[in-house]
Structure 1
Amino acid sequence: MITVKEVLSKKTFHYLQQHTSQDDLTQLVTGVNRVESITLKHLIQRNELVVTTGEAMINPISECLSLLKYMKKVGAAALVINTGPYIKKVPEEVKLYAEEVGCIVIEMPWRIRIADMTKKIFEELVKRTKRQSEEIVFIEKLISKKITNEEIPVEIINDLGEDFLFEGVVVIVKQTNKREMEINVFHERLRELFHQKYNKFISGIVGQMVVFVINRSSRVSETMNFTKFGKELYAYFDKKKITIAIGKGESYPNITEVYKSYDEALQVITVVQNQDEKWLFKYKDLGVYQFLFALKDSPILPQFCKEMLAGVWEYDRCNNQKYYSFLRVFLEENGHANAISKRLFIHRNTVSYRVQRIEKILDRSLTNNLDKTSLSLAILIDDLFLHNRADD
């Protein structure tokens, strides 16, 4: 698929003129639909360019307004008015209404045949679809460690630049809330944002994630800070009520090692989702989590976790209590009774009582730094790998 912005920026479509002021032109284009009468509006599909000359319209202004209203409802890409004998210029009323509802209006001169424009759009769609398929195949081979230097397609090398072999890095972005943006739209929005920061990258959809393989040396600015960029991404999607998780791996000097960057980015995504650590973007900032992931396949972690927490899990299960939940809050608030009582809406005396009960259940002291550190570590292990939410 291609976007409205890509269509407008190509020399092939230099004759197309945008008549609305939207900055966000990442609306996908999947086809072209010629609609000459409002009675045919029900044939309009999502992401289509709707083209009209006004030939069969009795009242072109009124019917164009109705078209825009329906296009907004179904998510069509843009209205292209082929100005000429039937609609001499794009009406001001149409421009104003399009601005109001957030639709894109484009003018195409009469000398351009709709059939020619449609043919060129479909040629671009075929070319882009083929290119996207090549990118996703390459990314899947890359992260599954099934590629060698000799197998890198020339087109991929051209996209990433010669320096890719020396500074390849993976960035993963994933939607995490129930109200999700359609994945292809999400991908194109991200590509547009990444283009503002990097000149050389490829991207693809893997499951429900968008994976970028970036030539880190192609940063638009040498002073570009990824943490700042990550915050910009969060802010952009937050305005659209979309919550995301971002993970960036380390850079590697050889294509055959870039799968490591993918694994690292996945680890960041896991931590962000489980711990709500939205300030965290980069693998190098994972701290103790790096140690935990290095041991994730070892029996040591579940064994340690159960030794520390099994008592409170079992007590909650048998007595329908939520002491494990209380223990989490206690450790997060560093044992401060006032903060705990306010957060859980309980009396300070109840805080003291529950602390004593947990100490008895676990045979640990919640004033001992080593015990508190061990319990905090056990809860991290549970969140990342075991998901033993006995209190949920």
Structure 2
Amino acid sequence: MENQPFTVQRLLQLPLFKGVKVIAGSSGLSKEIFYVDFMETPTLTGFLRPNELILTTGYSIRHEPAMLGRLLDEMHRVGGAAVGIKTKRFLHEVPQEALQKSDLYGIPLFDIPLEITYVDMTHTVIDQILSRQAYLLREVREVNQQFTNLVLNRRTTELVVLIGHLLGCEAAVLNEHGEVESCTSRFGGTAFVEKRPVQVGSKVMGYLAISRKLGDQETFEEMCLDHAITVLAIDFTIRQSQQLHREREQESFLVELFSGSSHQEDLLRYRAQQLGISLGRYFYTMVLQPRIGGEQGGGEQPHARLYNLLVQRVNKPGNHTRKGVFINDSLIILVSTAHDSEEKQRADAEQLLRELMAPAEELPPQARMCAGIGGLREKLSDVPDSRLEAHKALSIGTYTLPKQEIVHFHEVLVEDLLLDAAGHPVLNALTSMLIEPLVAYDLEYGTELLATLSAFLRLGGNTKRVAEELFIHRNSVLYRLERINEIIQNDLTDPEVRFRLDVAIRVWKTKDIDSKSMR
């Protein structure tokens, strides 16, 4: 019988309690008994416990029988089990109010014959309670062993099924965002009645959801649920540790890949597959740099949280086509793709920037992101070349295309070539003859001739578009172009002159770029 709850009903079926008579509260005979105590003092509060059986001779309330009603009030408050009283010893008659409260609360009130001694009752009741508790502990220990074995063998789905079987309901494990990770076959998504948090320290790692609420008398089920939550905390800890280890391995791989220290294509592809990095037809690199208040966000301690947030968003679970790592204040991202178009690269970069800059507490309101995109490569071993191109696109674009957040290397090919020839006498002569006079004029008179010339050349000589971009009247553009003709003494309508001016202005814009910083 130890596998059955020790209820008030079972108590009254024991041979010792054969002559006991239930005088009220028979609806509560199914209540389980966990404790037993005697009350022979008038104190009614502070010592009562849930599921406790109270035995008394009525001595402490012989002069004030109404106190029995107050005892039932207190037992109802704490969830007591039953009251046994030797009515023929001191009380003789149970107050009607106590009988009514016993029926109302479902707390059985029974009359104990005078010949049953306290010693016999104590021995019998405690023996039953201990027998039941010993059985529960054996069962729970066995269940806990099964739970632990399933967790250590990474069989979480079987663990959830076992939990559901023991509790007689549907069950599911949810992650910290409330998303179902594993569940029983009939678990209905959000149709759960109770959700218990699974904590590691003070951090909630996930939840155990069940489709019914456990009753007050379901002690074994409640103990199983507590143990399930404990082993699930172990499971979440193991998974977190594995994820951190995997992230460190991915970071090491990416640093090695971008540095170009390994050139064995087969080995690179094998390691990428082992780390869950997608292998598409093409690869390319994006280099991103956060700007805080218009400046590059590197070198300052407060930006560490921003960097961590950005890396987490790039490497979010389930995304295998891109993986990123911070190196020298730049977020360098490896992208795997099946597309070979520059337009697709740019569209992906725009989408990524929107995701990265989505509002968050860790993200300063004045923060923005700039990105450089390298060319496509078919081999992982060629990715370092794409990384170098992305760095160049970002660095050169900062000077030549300052209004663009995203710059592709193909947009700055000419500037890259000119940087390799920096300091060449011909280039110096071009800037000296065609650009420096305009710069000097702008400084002296506060004009914007150089900016007008730059827009004029970039927009193919379309003066209407130049006016719109500079927010001035078209006549003002024509006047400025005349002044430029006079200062440099060249005809802007001559294609050869335009070509030389275009080269010269590109050289001028890149004169402050340190080419070594892009290596």
For this structure pair, what is the TM-score category when the shorter chain's length is used for normalisation? 0.5 to 0.7
State the match for 2:174 in structure 1: 17
Over the matched positions of the two proteins, sequence identity in percent amounts to 15
Residue identity opposite 1:135 in structure 2: Q
Compute the displacement of 1:324 (Å): 1.8
Deviation track 1:127-183 (CA, whole Å, cap 9, x = no partner) reads: 33333333333333333332342985964452368978x955433344456498822
Where 1:296 maps in the other structure, the secondary structure is helix
Matched to 1:382, the amino acid is W
SS in 1 for 2:419: coil
Q: 1:331 to 1:123 in 2, by over 3 A?
A: same
- The answer to whether residue 477 in structure 2 is matched with residue 351 in structure 1 is yes
Alpha carbons of structure 1 residues 229 and 143: separation in structure 2 relative to 1, 3 Å: closer
SS in 2 for 1:17: strand
* Counterpart residue type for residue 182 of structure 1: L
Aligned pair 1:170/2:281, yes or no?
no
> Are residue 189 (structure 1) and residue 304 (structure 2) matched?
no
Q: Does 1:292 align with 2:421?
A: no
Partner of 1:247: 373
Q: Does 1:229 align with 2:344?
A: no
Q: Which amino acid aligns with 2:351?
A: E
Measure how far apart 1:32 and its partner are: 4.5
Change (3 A) 1:18 1:291: same
Change beyond 3 A, Cα 1:350–1:317: same
Question: Which residue of 2 is the match for residue 368 of structure 1?
Answer: 494
| Distance (Å, rounded) in 2 between the aligned partners of 1:148 and 1:346 | 54
The answer to whether structure 1 residue 268 and structure 2 residue 393 are counterparts is yes
Q: Which amino acid aligns with 1:209?
A: S
Q: Please say if residues 245 and 278 of structure 1, whose CA atoms lie closer than 8 Å, have aligned partners that are also in contact.
A: no
Inter-partner Cα distance in structure 2 for 1:374 and 1:206: 38
How far is the alpha carbon of 1:272 from its aligned partner?
4.9
Sort the Cα spacing of 1:245 and 1:309 in 2 relative to 1 into closer, same or farther, 3 A.
same
Q: Which has the higher contact order (CA 8 A, sep 6+)?
A: 1
Q: CA 1:118–1:153 in structure 2 vs 1: closer, same or farther (change >3 Å)?
A: farther
Distance in structure 2 (CA, Å) of the matches to 1:346 and 1:214 = 42
**1:386 match:** 512
Q: Distance in 2 between matches of 1:140 and 1:268?
A: 20
Q: Distance in 2 between matches of 1:324 and 1:222?
A: 37
Q: Which amino acid aligns with 1:372?
A: R
Gapped runs of 5+ residues in structure 1? 1-9, 23-30, 35-48, 52-79, 90-108, 388-392
The Cα shift of 1:280 comes to: 6.6
* Closer, same or farther: CA 88–382 of 1 in aligned 2, 3 Å: farther
Judged with a 3 Å threshold, the aligned counterparts in structure 2 of structure 1 residues 169 and 378 are, in CA distance, closer, same or farther, namely same
Per-residue Cα deviation, 1:194-233 (whole angstroms, up to 9, x for no partner): 827x3xx6432223333233555xx5x9999544433433
Structure-2 separation of matches of 1:121 and 1:143: 32
Compute the displacement of 1:349 (Å).
Answer: 4.6
Q: Following TM superposition, by how much is the alpha carbon of 1:362 offset from its aligned partner in structure 2, in angstroms? A: 2.0
State the distance in 2 between where 1:372 and 1:258 align: 37
- 1:315 is aligned, of 441, 444, 453, to 441
* Matched residue type, 1:16: V
Look up the match of 2:274: 158
Q: Following the alignment from structure 2 to structure 1, what is the Cα–Cα distance between the partners of residues 460 and 282?
A: 41
| Aligned with residue 452 of structure 2, among 322, 326, 331 | 326
Cα 1:263–1:88, aligned 2, differ >3 Å: closer, same or farther? same
For residue 55 of structure 1, what is the aligned residue in structure 2?
A: none
Instruction: Select the structure of larger CA radius of gyration.
Output: 2
Provide the aligned C-alpha RMSD in A: 4.7
- Say whether the 8 Å CA contact 2:273–2:279 is kept in structure 1: no
Distance 1:265 1:352, change over 3 A: closer
CA contact (8 A) 1:237 1:244 kept: no
Q: Distance in 1 between matches of 2:431 and 2:404?
A: 25
Give the match's secondary structure for 1:386: coil
CA separation of 1:342 and 1:193: change in aligned 2, threshold 3 A: farther
Query: Aligned letter for 2:325?
Result: G
Provide the aligned length of Structure 1 versus Structure 2: 298
**Match 2:384 to one of 235, 259, 262:** 259
* Residues 245, 272 of structure 1: 8 Å contact kept: no
Does residue 126 of the first structure (1) align with residue 250 of the second (2)? no
**1:16, distance to aligned residue in structure 2 (A):** 2.6
Residue in 2 aligned with 1:206? 327
Q: Give 1:11 shift.
A: 7.0
Contact 1:160 1:214 in 2 (8 A): no
- Superposed CA deviations along residues 35-88 of structure 1, whole A, max 9, x for unmatched, are xxxxxxxxxxxxxx447xxxxxxxxxxxxxxxxxxxxxxxxxxxx56679xx96
For structure 2, list consecutive stretches of 5 or more residues without a partner in the other structure: 1-153, 161-171, 180-198, 215-223, 298-304, 360-364, 514-519
Match of 1:366, SS state, is coil
Question: 2:379 & 2:490 partners in 1: Cα distance?
Answer: 48
Q: CA deviation at 1:117?
A: 4.1
Q: CA deviation at 1:260?
A: 1.0
- Residues 6-29 of structure 1: CA distance to partner in whole angstroms, max 9, x if unpaired? xxxx9759743369789xxxxxxx
Pair 118,174 (structure 1): closer, same or farther in 2 beyond 3 Å: farther
Kindly indicate whether the alpha-carbon contact (under 8 Å) linking 1:302 and 1:386 is maintained by their aligned counterparts in 2: no
1:339: Cα distance to partner? 4.3
CA offset at residue 251 of structure 1? 0.8
